[in-house]
Structure 1
Amino acid sequence: MTLTKRCVTTLAGLLLTVGIQAAPVEMAGVKLADPIDLGDARLQLNGAGIRYKAVFKVYVAALYLNKKAATPEEVYATSGPKRISITLLREIDSNELGKSFTKAFEENAPKTEMSRLIPGLLKMGQVFADQKKMVAGENFTIDWVPGTGTVISVKGKPQGEPIKEAEFFNAMMRIWLGSKPADWKLKDELLGKAS
C-alpha cells in the first residue's frame, strides 16, 4: 500500500471514529449528547431510558459520569462531577412531579441521613413548586459539582443556591437507582444494562 493510500485510510478511519463518538443518542425523539462538558470535566453517557407510568411515557432520563458504572454503589462512589438529565415527554404539573420525587426520595434515602437531607429536600420541592408546570420537551438537570454542591437547573438555568451536602446528590440518585426505584427497567437502563 502506498503512503498516500495509507494516509487516506487512516484519515477515513479517524473521521469515522470521531463521527461515531460525536453522534447523539436519540430516545423517544429526545437527542442526548454524548459526551457532555460539566465545568472542567467531560462526562460520558452511562445509560438512558424512558420513565413509564402505566402505559404512558413520562420522561427520558440520562445519567452522565466521568467513567462507566454498572451498579448504584459505583455511581455513588464515582468522584468528580455527575449529572442526571430529565426531558419531559408530556405536560406535568410541577407540584405533582416534585411530590413524586419527594416520595421516592424518602423511600430510598437512608433513615440515618434524613435529618441532614431535609433542608435540601425542601429546596428541591420549592424549585418544582416555582415552575407551576412543565411541558413536553422541557428539561431539567441535577448536577453534582465538587466544591459547589448539587445544582438543579430548569430549562438550562440554575435554580436557587446549590445544596452543599454530598449525601443529598446520592439521595437524589436513589430516586432512580435505589432499592425502590421509580422504574426498575429505567434503573437498569441508567446503569447501562441493555433492555
Structure 2
Amino acid sequence: MKKLLVSTLLALSCVLAGAPAHAAMLEGLRFDDTVRLGSRELQLNGLGVRAVYIFKAFVAALYVPQKTAAPQAILDQDAPRRLQLRMLMEVDSGEIKKALVRGMRKNVNDAEWAAMQDRVDQFARTIDSIGVAREGDTINLDYLPGQGLQLAVNEVSRGPAIGGADFYQALLEIFVGPNPVDTRLKKALLGQ
C-alpha cells in the first residue's frame, strides 16, 4: 500500500511538473499564458468573449511578444502574433468569412482595400475551406514576419500563407483597432 501511494504521488508530481505554471480560464476553456510561434515565445495579452445578441460565438485570445494595453503597439509591430478563436457555438464558414471581410473593410481606406483585394479573395477561399466551425473548434490566425498569415483549424493548416504585415494588421483591427467589432472584446484583448 505504501509503495502504491509513493508511486502515485511520484506520478502526480511528474504530471504537475510538466504542466504550465499559469493558465487563464474563460467560459470553462483554459488558455496557456505563453505559446510558441516559430522561434518566438508569445505572451497572452488578453481574453474576451464575442457575443452576438444573446449568443456567445467564441472566446478570443490574443498572443503577442510583449504584453501591452496600447492597441497601436500591437497593430504596428512586424512580429509574430496569434489571434485564437475558440468556438462556443457552431458557425458556418460563410458567416465567419462575411464577418471578417466586412470587419477588415471597415478598418482600411479605399487605397489600402484595393491593394489587398487579391489577398482578401485568397483569405475568403481559405475560410470557405473550413466548412462549418463546430463548438469546441480552435481557429488560429497566426502571423510570422516574412511569411504572413496562416490560418489553422484544430492545429491543421488551411490554405497557403497570405503575405503582408498590412493584411494581418487589417485583420487585427477588427478586434483591437479604432473601429472594433466589439468594444468590450477590444478591452478584454488589451488586458483592460
**TM-score band, normalised by shorter chain:** 0.7 to 0.9
Query: 1:48 maps to which residue?
Result: 47
Query: 2:58 maps to which residue?
Result: 59
* Structure 2 runs not aligned, ≥5 long: 1-16
Query: 1:124 maps to which residue?
Result: 123
Query: 1:86 maps to which residue?
Result: 85
Contact 1:86–1:141, Cα closer than 8 Å, also in 2:
yes
Secondary structure of residue in 2 paired with 1:22: coil
Report the TM-score when normalising by structure 2: 0.86
Secondary structure of residue in 1 paired with 2:115: helix
* Structure 1 runs not aligned, ≥5 long: 1-17
1:29-51 Cα deviation digits (max 9, x unpaired):
11111111111100000111000
Aligned length: 176
Contact 1:51–1:61, Cα closer than 8 Å, also in 2:
yes
Partner Cα separation in structure 2 for residue 59 and residue 95 of structure 1? 16
Partner Cα separation in structure 1 for residue 18 and residue 156 of structure 2? 30
Report the TM-score when normalising by structure 1: 0.85
Q: After superposition, where does 1:147-166 map in structure 2 within 5 Å?
A: 147-166=146-165
* Cα RMSD for the two superposed structures: 1.7
Query: 1:15 maps to which residue?
Result: none
Secondary structure of residue in 1 paired with 2:179: coil
Query: 1:184 maps to which residue?
Result: 183
State the shift of 1:68 in Å: 1.4
Contact 2:129–2:158, Cα closer than 8 Å, also in 1:
no
Percent of pairs with identical residues: 30
Partner Cα separation in structure 1 for residue 144 and residue 133 of structure 2? 25
Partner Cα separation in structure 2 for residue 174 and residue 67 of structure 1? 18
Contact 1:61–1:87, Cα closer than 8 Å, also in 2:
yes
The runs of 4+ residues in structure 1 deviating greater than 4 Å are 18-21
Partner Cα separation in structure 2 for residue 171 and residue 93 of structure 1? 22
State the shift of 1:19 in Å: 9.9
Contact 1:22–1:35, Cα closer than 8 Å, also in 2:
no
- Flag the structure with higher strand content: 2
Q: After superposition, where does 1:72-83 map in structure 2 within 5 Å?
A: 72-83=71-82
